[in-house]
């Protein structure tokens, strides 16, 4: 964990603390923060800034009954919260939540590459990717932002090397070819806010089929 070198960009961490990231990106940020003390401290800094805005922005008078209403409710039983899913193996709590505490349901993408889709909708998609050692993720670009967080193994691409806990945030300008490192298969949590565009003909034909 202390080896994490690729962190959450500052505007994204601020948006996360303010709760304005789309759910697919929010899940990736929450997962990285679960693995990274540096970004957890950063998140808490942004919450502190939010607290300052809350405290200093100005007060509005309450209606007369509100305080008595709230005080009268203190002894009422607390609403039951479902316990947050716990880390299991390589999957931190937020991934287990997205998996609804089940095992990933892997589907083959060919060449030993597999995916398990966790969320898919108009606001983007979230998936687990499984890439055998030394294998490349098919060459692709993206229309929007793509976040890739390593949960096991490693990968490298034109921009650098990424190990467990490292997060790559790529925008539409980056056309990259991630290649899994040697050793354990690379398992990543990947989120995009727009469909991936694959350059090689075959994967593009497969796109509707695999919803990639």
Distance CA 12, CA 42 (A): 11
For position 44 contacting other proteins by CB under 8 A, the verdict is yes
Structure tokens at 57: 């922005």
CB-CB neighbours of 91 under 10 Å:
23
Distance CA 2, CA 153 (A): 15
Angle ∠(191,122,40) on CA atoms, nearest 5 = 35
Q: Which of 20, 101, 143, 159 binds other proteins (CB under 8 A)?
A: 20
The full 3-state SS of 23-44, as one line of letters, equals HHHHHHHHHHHHHCHHHHHHHH
Structure tokens at 170: 């790529």
Contact in structure between 156 and 178 (CB atoms under 8 Å): yes
Distance of CA 60 to the CA centre of its chain: 37
Q: How far is the CB of 2 from other proteins (least distance, A)?
A: 7
By CB under 5 A, how many residues form the interface with Zn ion? 4
List the single partner that 7 binds among Zn ion, other proteins, none, CB under 5 to 8 Å by kind.
Answer: Zn ion
For position 40 contacting other proteins by CB under 8 A, the verdict is yes
Q: How far is the CB of 156 from other proteins (least distance, A)?
A: 25
By CB under 8 A, how many residues form the interface with other proteins? 64
**Residue among 186, 59, 187 at smallest CA distance from 134:** 186
The H helix count followed by the E strand count for the chain is: 6, 11
For position 36 contacting Zn ion by CB under 5 A, the verdict is yes
Q: Which range in 3-11, 16-24, 95-103, 193-201 contacts Zn ion by CB under 5 A? A: 3-11
| C-beta of 17 vs 212, nearer to other proteins | 17
| C-beta of 23 vs 112, nearer to other proteins | 23
Q: Which range in 51-59, 100-108, 146-154, 200-208 contacts other proteins by CB under 8 A? A: 51-59
For position 18 contacting other proteins by CB under 8 A, the verdict is yes
Distance CA 114, CA 103 (A): 14
Q: Is 45 helix (H, G, I), strand (E, B) or coil?
A: helix
For position 34 contacting Zn ion by CB under 5 A, the verdict is no
For position 191 contacting other proteins by CB under 8 A, the verdict is no
Residues at the contact surface with Zn ion, assessed by CB under 5 A: 7, 36, 38-39
Residues at the contact surface with other proteins, assessed by CB under 8 A: 1-2, 9-12, 14-15, 17-21, 23, 25-27, 30-31, 33-34, 37-38, 40-63, 66-67, 69-71, 73-74, 78-79, 84, 86-87, 92-94, 97-98
């Amino acid at each position: 964990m202390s080896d994490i070198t690729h962190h959450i960009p500052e505007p994204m961490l601020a948006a996360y603390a303010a709760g304005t990231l789309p759910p697919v990106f929010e899940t990736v940020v929450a997962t990285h923060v679960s693995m990274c003390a540096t970004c957890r401290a950063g998140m808490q800094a942004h919450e502190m800034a939010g607290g300052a805005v809350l405290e200093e922005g100005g007060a509005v008078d309450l209606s007369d009954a509100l305080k008595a209403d709230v005080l009268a409710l203190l002894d009422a039983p607390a609403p039951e919260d479902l316990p947050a899913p716990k880390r299991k193996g390589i999957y931190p709590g937020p991934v287990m939540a997205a998996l609804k505490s089940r095992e990933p349901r892997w589907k083959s993408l060919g060449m030993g590459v597999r995916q398990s889709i966790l969320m898919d909708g108009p606001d983007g998609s979230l998936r687990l990717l499984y890439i055998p050692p030394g294998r490349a993720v098919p060459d692709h670009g993206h229309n929007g932002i793509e976040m890739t967080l390593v949960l096991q193994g490693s990968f490298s691409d034109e921009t650098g090397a990424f190990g467990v806990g490292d997060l790559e945030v790529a925008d539409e300008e980056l056309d990259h070819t991630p290649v899994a490192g040697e050793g354990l298969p690379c398992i990543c949590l990947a989120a995009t806010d727009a469909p991936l565009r694959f350059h090689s003909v075959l994967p593009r034909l497969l796109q509707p089929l695999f919803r990639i």
